[in-house]
Structure 1
């Protein structure tokens, strides 16, 4: 020490630069395009390099794990004791809140990646104490190791909890691989504080349908709705409207919503028997000595009957560790009045409750406690549609149990994709409409002869490539929906989407359909194969002989196998790869391009080479010329990048999303462009990629890289080709 009190000033490392308070090197330029979402789960973050979970889980001792999981339910731990000696309610909440972040609009969220282990989900107010549930599962994760992912383990815990309490569940599928850090691609809302008034998410909070897309939860930090009512103001009818919209955005209809609400509250309890002000920071902000635990109360007892999580306090039924009809007996058997929990939360209590309907204290069975209903529960009673459904459930327990079991299965598997991805002995045999079933297609036919027929069909390179792209681009890696398999581009609603150019699509399909019939191939295969033929012809025109890899076996889905309404959310509102937007949006065209690329599973380099290749092949929507920086349209050349980086050209804005590319010396306009085109020259990272493909020595590399990225997109939904 030299006596200088400012020792930190001489420390040779970044001061704060390695924490979230440290400024990013890009913080000076907040409008710069951020490509991080395309590389968020880079292989360098994965400690299991080369490990294939979907292969490993097939060797799991499924029966042993299920038995151990059920045993864990009643093995109460002193450090976090189980309510009534049973962890079922806690594990159900863990699984539910893991899966319940899914939203239909963009397929993001959900429990398919184990993302609840990381920020922000691990620290949402609605997820308080679920850090404890995950630690209770650690002995099982430790025992079974890499053969079971956290994602599978967490969702299995809820299913086994229900089985241990008497419900006959519908099944379970393993196969969810874990991620190793926060998901940076998920937009959870613009609020800067937890539980900010829900008005910020709505144009009109009185009209739940005006909630900002793609959001589903009503407030930042909640999974569904506020249990105390809209913005914390009890009003069951208003809450019912929010419940309906929220669950609709999570792919549930009214019956499924009522079943999940009732079934979720048939067991377990809410915790608010204490002072919430004594709770410490959430896991991401907790002290290092708390070792990843959050919401710790270091000044008084915080477990058992004194636990505080949501602030709501009490159980819904007299037998909260048993699957029964108690929820409906309570809901319809009493009048209910508003009250407050010891933690100050607003909730409902029964008027003149009978002792036999009061649940026991979680630690002392001789003590009776007051049951509760939340505003969402009361919505099931006062909303006429929900009430009719719940009355049927009340009168037919077997029907309620089956409906709930199916809804729970959907909740915990909705983001897992088609059934072919499910692994294990408990996968239901039934094909469910929300799984987007596709029949197995013919895999043996004369591909060479079919290619020759396509080549002689008279279709242009643009026709073939654009149609294949439009069929495949619907794929969403977020929930494994969409893609070319099934050829749903020929069915409603996809055949009528503006982005698919319905008139041209109908013309192309009219040519391809008879070729498929004659060859004994599926139309889905023929659409992709035609795209490959187009790419091969474009490469040939550029001077390169290539064969685009093709794997037959796609099937053609029927109208009956297609839930048309649920496919509406897959409609592209913009596709920068084809230089098209349905209309102008607040979000910039280049940001919309990133979103599409991320859902397709592309890296920034793959996005770059694909866009440049699609431009020069003339695949712009409607035959537009923006970004077609070539005089050899239809040839797979790197001309897009050559001309983009040509310093003999200048770029002149001509409109909101239009630019002229002119000769610097003469001023003559050579090309036109959009923002999506020019971002590959303006963004420093994308320009670096563009310069690679503009080099004279990388022409062959450009074609090879394009073909590889093209095949990736065409095969995104070919889950039958992977383990």
Structure 2
């Protein structure tokens, strides 16, 4: 055979890394620690390059022009996807809502802040059916304004402009969301292996919504909120109300906000189920190349919006679905409702003996009137006593409803943007809202070096200073830009009492640092970070390196009144591998919990590695334990953790208590102790490769420099100005 020939039946390309037909490393070894979550937004995926700064670029956007263009688009119906009632408002609102609505409070993941609805799995969730068309309708606007507007901003702007075009006075809008360029494939959306699997799989008891698996919020795989047909598709408004309440609470909404969003969301637009759901093609990720990114292709659509199938439920909620008004309440509370089926076979509710003038027109033929509908979630607004009372309040004061909805919509679409200083554009409201975690501006005019000198002479140990600064900063979540050292909320409830913050040690350190801050007219937040920096500098000097840790003053001190204690409860760490602490044993391994924490903090795998090694060397373990402190020079910023971890003169023996004994290989004499979190840096092939870099004889200086750079990143992670 010629050397260039390919044998019969053999493929000339590698499978697996390219398509789904091969077997990956994690398929072969499923229990191996998967570090992909730390690399899911590698800069190599970003076509705009490392030097592109979206926050700078978007400030040059013509805000009035893009708003006008988006509003004009609403009534420019396209033949390839005709607009219901000649207005795309309902579709754009659903696109924005479902983009933002994947947010969950427990870990801050999901949400509309990164444009992740463009990618799998969200772009192909059953609940997001036909939203691929909505984004394609926005393409001319994105094409026109290019890099000055992200998809994340444009999608949420489209929903807000849709409401304005239909008569709502919105609360405002901020630009500033930066796009991701690849799927967040390592986010946990549930353990189910099929779309819309019975919700029993994510509840200990489906009859008790608060038993849903954390950090999940939606009731079934592939849904944004709840099943509109009822719990597991079985209509029962009272049971649905309980699921609605829990689900929206897990998405950071209270009962009034939940009712406002439900009622206001269904004041406009319609659901689509006027046809055969079985005739739909594959979702976008499952469709073939000729579909060009479109999914759910409907061979029966025939160019008419009236024939569309999306959710399977069919009809509008109000008489005038393109107008912001009180029509939702008029129909829901003005009529009795009975169960029925849509043409696609979905459970829905229809009014009894409705007047013809209260019926909406056909979305494609204004000469015909058609039946409105309500979902089980809508009926919950009427039948649940708490939601009913809120709706009665809205009906008695339409202006109050308008304002409550506008604020709830703003919260929904901005919840994961962080503090107000991140907002960009002329329509960003100036009002401080409690859910924004407001922080007052801090002082920048004090003598930083004088404060550092006082801290250095305070008698606090390196471990006390570094641990306190770390505990203050580690709450930061890049997922929704909450937490962090700014605000010094570690001194307030609930954080001051969290077990992981060692309340007694914390109180001692604060009693020393707060008077120093007051005397210098500096914020406590700044002084906590400065103390950590002093500790790092002392530790580096003890290792033979004179370094100055970068510092930018200006953090402010939040008050208890500025702090929503209930909302902050979700930021409490249950584990911290960097300080070798685990609140209790979990189903998830300690090293997986460490990865989760590192990813939320925005750390890469090398950054996670250098931080942990440095923290061990400085003796910052929770409770002062010696696990993983592989050094006789505790308190010095040395590479001893890595040197001794990779030293073949030792062996590692698991004890009955789950702690590992590090023993001299020749004599068997015990030397140190370790946890799984320590040893994974030697057992995992990727992490070991990083550990070996810092164990080399020529990299002690690199280690200190890398640690200082990563430490500074953590201390400044929550500051848009740093």
SS of 1:670 mapped into structure 2: strand
Distance 1:648-1:512 versus aligned 2 partners, 3 A rule: same
Distance 1:265-1:546 versus aligned 2 partners, 3 A rule: same
Contact 2:488–2:525 (CA under 8 A) maintained in structure 1: yes
CA positional deviation for 1:298: 3.0
Contact 1:82–1:304 (CA under 8 A) maintained in structure 2: yes
**Structure 2 partner of 1:182:** 183
Distance 1:70-1:44 versus aligned 2 partners, 3 A rule: same
Contact 1:316–1:372 (CA under 8 A) maintained in structure 2: yes
Report how many residues are paired.
720
SS of 2:348 mapped into structure 1: strand
**Structure 2 partner of 1:519:** 520
Distance 1:17-1:486 versus aligned 2 partners, 3 A rule: closer
Mapped pair 1:230 → 2:231: yes
**Structure 1 partner of 2:372:** 371
Flag as ranges the 4+ runs of structure 1 deviating above 3 A: 5-11
Measured against aligned partners, the alpha-carbon deviations of 1:312-338 in whole angstroms (never above 9, x if no partner) come to 000000000000000001111000000
CA positional deviation for 1:28: 1.2
Mapped pair 1:474 → 2:475: yes
**Structure 2 partner of 1:345:** 346
**Structure 1 partner of 2:506:** 505
SS of 1:528 mapped into structure 2: helix
**Structure 2 partner of 1:121:** 122
Output the CA distance in 1 between the equivalents of 2:8 and 2:559.
Answer: 68
- Stretch moving more, 229-238 or 13-22: 13-22
Mapped pair 1:441 → 2:442: yes
Output the CA distance in 2 between the equivalents of 1:241 and 1:7.
Answer: 61
**Structure 1 partner of 2:46:** 46
**Structure 2 partner of 1:483:** 484
Output the CA distance in 1 between the equivalents of 2:529 and 2:259.
Answer: 42
Measured against aligned partners, the alpha-carbon deviations of 1:359-393 in whole angstroms (never above 9, x if no partner) come to 00011111110000000000000100000000111
Output the CA distance in 2 between the equivalents of 1:703 and 1:444.
Answer: 29
Measured against aligned partners, the alpha-carbon deviations of 1:60-118 in whole angstroms (never above 9, x if no partner) come to 01000000111000000011000010000000000000000000000000000000000
SS of 2:562 mapped into structure 1: coil
Measured against aligned partners, the alpha-carbon deviations of 1:573-599 in whole angstroms (never above 9, x if no partner) come to 000000001000000000000000001
**Structure 2 partner of 1:406:** 407
- Stretch moving more, 619-628 or 11-20: 11-20
SS of 1:660 mapped into structure 2: strand
**Structure 2 partner of 1:244:** 245
Output the CA distance in 1 between the equivalents of 2:456 and 2:292.
Answer: 63
Mapped pair 1:530 → 2:534: no
Output the CA distance in 1 between the equivalents of 2:304 and 2:97.
Answer: 22
SS of 1:365 mapped into structure 2: coil
Output the CA distance in 2 between the equivalents of 1:207 and 1:363.
Answer: 42
Contact 2:304–2:364 (CA under 8 A) maintained in structure 1: no
- Report the TM-score, using the length of structure 1 for normalisation: 0.98
Contact 2:90–2:270 (CA under 8 A) maintained in structure 1: yes
SS of 2:652 mapped into structure 1: strand
**Structure 1 partner of 2:28:** 28
Measured against aligned partners, the alpha-carbon deviations of 1:660-685 in whole angstroms (never above 9, x if no partner) come to 00001111110000000000000001
- Stretch moving more, 290-299 or 478-487: 290-299
Measured against aligned partners, the alpha-carbon deviations of 1:639-696 in whole angstroms (never above 9, x if no partner) come to 0001100100000001463100000111111000000000000000100000010111
Measured against aligned partners, the alpha-carbon deviations of 1:236-266 in whole angstroms (never above 9, x if no partner) come to 0000000000000000000000000000000
**Structure 2 partner of 1:553:** 554
SS of 1:9 mapped into structure 2: coil
Output the CA distance in 1 between the equivalents of 2:577 and 2:561.
Answer: 32
Mapped pair 1:681 → 2:682: yes
**Structure 1 partner of 2:278:** 277
Contact 1:286–1:292 (CA under 8 A) maintained in structure 2: yes
**Structure 2 partner of 1:291:** 292
- Stretch moving more, 6-15 or 497-506: 6-15
**Structure 2 partner of 1:14:** 14
* RMSD of aligned alpha carbons: 1.3
**Structure 2 partner of 1:73:** 74
CA positional deviation for 1:720: 2.0
Output the CA distance in 2 between the equivalents of 1:8 and 1:370.
Answer: 61
The runs of 5 or more residues in structure 2 that have no matched partner are: none
**Structure 2 partner of 1:164:** 165
Output the CA distance in 2 between the equivalents of 1:565 and 1:331.
Answer: 33
SS of 1:557 mapped into structure 2: coil
- Report the TM-score, using the length of structure 2 for normalisation: 0.99
Mapped pair 1:322 → 2:310: no
Distance 1:302-1:347 versus aligned 2 partners, 3 A rule: farther
Contact 2:422–2:720 (CA under 8 A) maintained in structure 1: yes
The runs of 5 or more residues in structure 1 that have no matched partner are: none
Contact 1:418–1:436 (CA under 8 A) maintained in structure 2: yes
Contact 2:298–2:308 (CA under 8 A) maintained in structure 1: no
- Stretch moving more, 5-14 or 658-667: 5-14
**Structure 2 partner of 1:573:** 574
Output the CA distance in 1 between the equivalents of 2:615 and 2:552.
Answer: 22
Measured against aligned partners, the alpha-carbon deviations of 1:102-150 in whole angstroms (never above 9, x if no partner) come to 0000000000000000000000000000000000000000001100000
SS of 2:9 mapped into structure 1: helix
CA positional deviation for 1:18: 1.3
SS of 2:561 mapped into structure 1: coil
Contact 1:445–1:521 (CA under 8 A) maintained in structure 2: yes
- Stretch moving more, 391-400 or 267-276: 391-400
CA positional deviation for 1:395: 1.4
CA positional deviation for 1:51: 1.1
Measured against aligned partners, the alpha-carbon deviations of 1:604-659 in whole angstroms (never above 9, x if no partner) come to 00100000000010100000111000001100000000110010000000146310
Output the CA distance in 1 between the equivalents of 2:426 and 2:643.
Answer: 55
Output the CA distance in 2 between the equivalents of 1:389 and 1:303.
Answer: 38
- Stretch moving more, 32-41 or 465-474: 32-41
Output the CA distance in 1 between the equivalents of 2:304 and 2:607.
Answer: 51
Mapped pair 1:647 → 2:661: no
Output the CA distance in 1 between the equivalents of 2:463 and 2:197.
Answer: 49
Contact 1:302–1:308 (CA under 8 A) maintained in structure 2: no
Output the CA distance in 1 between the equivalents of 2:487 and 2:635.
Answer: 28
Distance 1:649-1:611 versus aligned 2 partners, 3 A rule: same
CA positional deviation for 1:20: 2.0
SS of 2:633 mapped into structure 1: coil
Output the CA distance in 1 between the equivalents of 2:304 and 2:6.
Answer: 44
Output the CA distance in 1 between the equivalents of 2:272 and 2:656.
Answer: 57
Output the CA distance in 2 between the equivalents of 1:573 and 1:702.
Answer: 28
Mapped pair 1:613 → 2:614: yes
Output the CA distance in 2 between the equivalents of 1:356 and 1:654.
Answer: 78
Output the CA distance in 2 between the equivalents of 1:497 and 1:575.
Answer: 13
**Structure 1 partner of 2:151:** 150
Show the 5 A alignment for 1:578-617: 578-617=579-618
Contact 1:616–1:634 (CA under 8 A) maintained in structure 2: yes
CA positional deviation for 1:216: 0.2
